[in-house]
Structure 1
Amino acid sequence: MTALLRAGLVGLGTMGRHHARILSHLPGVTLAAIADPAGDTTNAGLAAPIVATLDDLLSYHLDYCVVAVPTALHAPVGLALAHAGIPALIEKPLAPDLPTACALAEAFEHAGLIAAVGHIERYNPALHAMRARLADGQLGTLYQMNTRRQGPYPPRVRDVGVVFDLATHDLDSTVWVTGKPLVSVSARAVSRSGRIPEDLVAIIGELSDGTVTSHLVNWLSPSKERVTIATGERGSLLADTLHGDLTYYANGVAHTEWAAAELFRGVIEGDITRYAIAKKEPLLSEHEAFRDAITGKDTPIVTLWEAATTIAAAEAVLRATVNGTTATPTATRPPAPAARPDAYMLAGVIPSSK
């Protein structure tokens, strides 16, 4: 019988509890222990023991660890895990700035460890289906990628604004869905609720092939919206990522013998198709992919270097909001091939919850 992988979890806040739920029932994995100095404040009734420090957690001889602490603590916890020889799945955003993100990527790369970042939208079934259809050329030439990510402020977020907490989802998924890097951005941001930093941002960008991108992100809307729209010469694909739905709006075909009208014709409404696609909880898919990567399978994980590129894009957005100009994301070093860990060691950091 194959031995179960022993997983640890650092942080038992809002996201940590979701990770604990998945890890408690993930085939091939046992949740060995959880580290959080506050303990189980919500009485979740988890079967795994809860300890106060990362040192205590590492005494459980982990095969890998999930990091769900505030963004500012990703570096101390992640670097300690890299030093200890423990592969890690780290919540997004990877770090509060690009140098820290690169330091984390370099640490795990130098240690020969598998590591990933929880950009969960890459596991959304609607975006998976959109990506496949764009790759097959369903829309022809792509013109625009538009996202709207709006809703009430989540009290759990206290150390970053909407650019790092929410817009990083869209900056990452747009590049992933299209397969094209982001080359420039301009943006406007405000803080209307009195919370610092920004709670609303509007971003306009350009991909390397000339595709225009736009992202509207805020914590000011009483209704929650999660939409991605790809528009091309043959129509639009709309992904509702809250529900995992994908709808195709085809350009209609209308012939005319009126020469004046033929000089400039826009598109007209054609067929509308809601696709029937298999739906699995994105967080479960994310955990399955990382588990399989740990066991040596070739599965799609979001590498730390990819996540660092998203941090560079987020920083470019913030620069653009300050300067009122167009900004170019800072280039990150290409990743080296990952290797498997040889040994586990111990190190300790006081964790907290995310």
Structure 2
Amino acid sequence: MKKLGVAVIGTGFWGRNHARVFKELEETELLAVCDINAERAKAVAKQFGVKPYTNVGRMLKRKDIEAVSVCTWSTSLAKEALKALKAEKHVLVEKPMAANTKQAEKLIETAEKQGLHITVGFLMRFIPGVQHIKTAVKKRTIGDIVCATAKRVSQWPERIGDVGVVKDLAIHDIDIMRHLFNEDPIAVYAKTGRMLHRKYEDYAHIMLTFKGGKNAFIESNWLTPYKTRILTVTGSRAIMKLDYITQRLTVEDSKETKQPRIPWKEPLK
């Protein structure tokens, strides 16, 4: 089987994870990593036995690199992803993909024009429990959907420096709600604010309204003293609750509470 030659742009906390997974997957061959921090690029390259770069353009000239992951600061994701697309590479770009819709649309247009694939790193979709809930919603095994609620809270992450809590945390749950209901909301209400941090919002309360009266509620913050990642979907016949951290899924109806045995799976894979 021919492996897909890949490279990673950005070798910070999350870029290292991308590099590790590409190294472990049977379908991919990690060939290079790139970072403006030369020492960090060298360290990650040495860890995985690949070539380090500090210049993206030079790395993208390699013909054996067919796809790249872009894991830079959020504000530079679109710029680096566009470079890769123009170099005729398929792109996996970390969320939030771009700083605004104009940048995002430019990436999509470029990928389509070049005949390339571009996808955003919304990893929560690939957690087995989410896939079980998605199937239940589609088949209506839990009845008519009343609402979905997501709670994604924790302390301030030191690695964050260029976005607020909406683009860091809430964005995952906005994507999941659209994914579960397979449609865009028809109305959005949101309240964000700053309690401890001066530059960016550190809490967000969001309500999404979908066709047919379905609602989704999202709570995100960087203020809570412990980390919680919970998704609850309420149907007319049953309620499904997923703990993203443990990947434990609970299904409750009028007669019993069940916990399906679902193997834990790394969403990056």
Interval of TM-score (by shorter of Structure 1 and Structure 2): over 0.9
1:317-351 CA-partner distances (Å, limit 9, x unpaired)? xxxxxxxxxxxxxxxxxxxxxxxxxxxxxxxxxxx
Matched AA of 1:60: R
Is 2:57–2:83's contact at 8 Å kept on the other side of the alignment?
no
- Aligned counterpart, 1:275: 260
| Structure 2 gap segments, 5+ residues each | none
Distance, in Å, in 2 between the alignment partners of 1:40 and 1:18 is: 17
Distance, in Å, in 2 between the alignment partners of 1:168 and 1:109 is: 24
Aligned residue pairs total 265
1:273-294 CA-partner distances (Å, limit 9, x unpaired)? 011123321011xxxxxxxxxx
Distance, in Å, in 2 between the alignment partners of 1:118 and 1:103 is: 18
**65, 72, 77: which one pairs with 1:74?**
77
- Aligned counterpart, 1:27: 26
Distance, in Å, in 1 between the alignment partners of 2:35 and 2:183 is: 39
Report how far residue 147 of structure 1 moved: 0.3
1:242-295 CA-partner distances (Å, limit 9, x unpaired)? 111111111x2xxxxxxxxxxxxxxxxx311011123321011xxxxxxxxxxx
- Aligned counterpart, 1:54: 56
**122, 125, 130: which one pairs with 1:119?**
122
Is 1:10–1:54's contact at 8 Å kept on the other side of the alignment?
yes
- The secondary structure found in structure 2 opposite 1:283 is coil
Distance, in Å, in 2 between the alignment partners of 1:64 and 1:194 is: 37
Distance, in Å, in 2 between the alignment partners of 1:239 and 1:178 is: 16
Distance, in Å, in 2 between the alignment partners of 1:243 and 1:40 is: 34
Higher relative contact order, structure no. (Cα contacts within 8 Å, ≥ 6 residues apart): 1
Provide the TM-score with structure 1 as the length reference.
Answer: 0.72
Matched AA of 1:277: I
Deviation larger for 69-78 or 82-91: 69-78
Deviation larger for 32-41 or 118-127: 32-41
Is 2:154–2:226's contact at 8 Å kept on the other side of the alignment?
yes
Distance, in Å, in 2 between the alignment partners of 1:185 and 1:4 is: 43
Is 1:180–1:209's contact at 8 Å kept on the other side of the alignment?
no
Is 1:89–1:118's contact at 8 Å kept on the other side of the alignment?
yes
Report how far residue 186 of structure 1 moved: 1.1
What is the percentage of aligned positions where both structures have the same residue? 27
- The secondary structure found in structure 2 opposite 1:139 is coil
Structure with the bigger percentage of strand: 2
Report how far residue 38 of structure 1 moved: 0.7
Provide the TM-score with structure 2 as the length reference.
Answer: 0.94
- The secondary structure found in structure 2 opposite 1:182 is coil
Matched AA of 2:228: E
For the aligned residue pairs, the C-alpha RMSD in angstroms reads 1.4
**153, 156, 160: which one pairs with 2:159?**
156
Matched AA of 2:266: E
| Structure 1 gap segments, 5+ residues each | 253-269, 285-354
Report how far residue 179 of structure 1 moved: 1.8
